[in-house]
Amino acid sequence: MSYGIPSAEPSAQVPVCPRHPDRPSYVSCQRCGRPACPECQRAAAVGFQCVDCVNEAKRTTPAVRTVYGGAVATGTPVVTFGIIALCAVLYVLQWVIPGSAVFRNLAYASVFVAPEYGVFQPWRMVTAAFLHSQGFLLHILLNMYMLWIFGQALEPLLGRIRFLAVYLISAVGGSVGYLLLTPILPEGGPVPVVGASGAIFGLFGAMLVVQRHRRAETKQLWVLIAINGVIGFVVPQIAWQAHLGGLIAGALCAAVIAYAPRGPRQHLVQFAGLAAVLVLLAAVSWYRVITG
């Protein structure tokens, strides 16, 4: 008995990746069912998803936020390390650029925010916090060490944007404290002020408020603030006025963030409060200038 050879079935169409039609793709997305080539596959809890479904999920899934409303940031504290890097670069430039032009253009003195003396450069109230004394290496080392310690603790808690806002407003607060508690134009000419100490003290104040809000231990923090406060009075050429101003500004900012009612409008309340702190600092500065 002989048997005939059956005719071959028509071959099924080879699946291809929608994003790369020239690539056969035998793995399907677990979410949409479309083929996905190795370049477009993303590991999922079960199997793989295509890159389009992964991106869509990111757009539609609410971001995980901290108790203070900031987006949860894991890993490297980017803002903290960015500030440290910027301070380091400017410190090198202070040595490299002839005539210390960086210092002359970015350092703060109260006279720079008093228009009646012919110069009005309020941005120096912030830029001075990124400069440090060239004659005292420990100035930048100690400040950056404190920033590293407190930044790693506060940045994940507050979120990157809120942490940066607290730092910058605290820097302004330090300059305002110096403006309020020293002569605008002392005998002998303007006294330039540089250093991140005001902003660092702002982080001290912010951490104190956050710890109180979380009902955590604050004794060691009080001791640290007291020790650094005393050093400001004992060691010459340290602007304790900037430390005090930064401490108060940082505490105010943290109080705004920590005690804002939770809910969909939490971030609006927080940023309105931070703006109010800035307005308050500006108003106090203006009053100090016009009253001499």
- Active-site positions read 197, 243
Burial classification of residue 160, based on how many CB atoms lie within 10 Å of its CB (0-12 exposed, 13-18 middle, 19 or more buried):
middle
Per-residue tokens: 247: 């401490």
Nearest by Cα to 65 from 159, 161, 206? 159
Strand (E) or helix (H) holding 246: helix 240-258
| Amino acid (1-letter code) at residue 258 | A
- Whole-angstrom distance, CA of residue 271 vs CA of residue 161: 10
- Whole-angstrom distance, CA of residue 118 vs CA of residue 52: 58
- Whole-angstrom distance, CA of residue 30 vs CA of residue 114: 65
> Residues 14, 16, 18, CA angle at the centre, nearest 5°?
150
- Whole-angstrom distance, CA of residue 167 vs CA of residue 213: 19
- Whole-angstrom distance, CA of residue 245 vs CA of residue 117: 24
Residue 256's CB: how many other CB atoms inside 10 A? 23
Q: Name residue, tokens 């900012």.
A: 253
Per-residue tokens: 136: 């005292």
The answer to whether 25 and 16 have CB atoms below 8 angstroms apart is: yes
Nearest by Cα to 165 from 81, 275, 259? 275
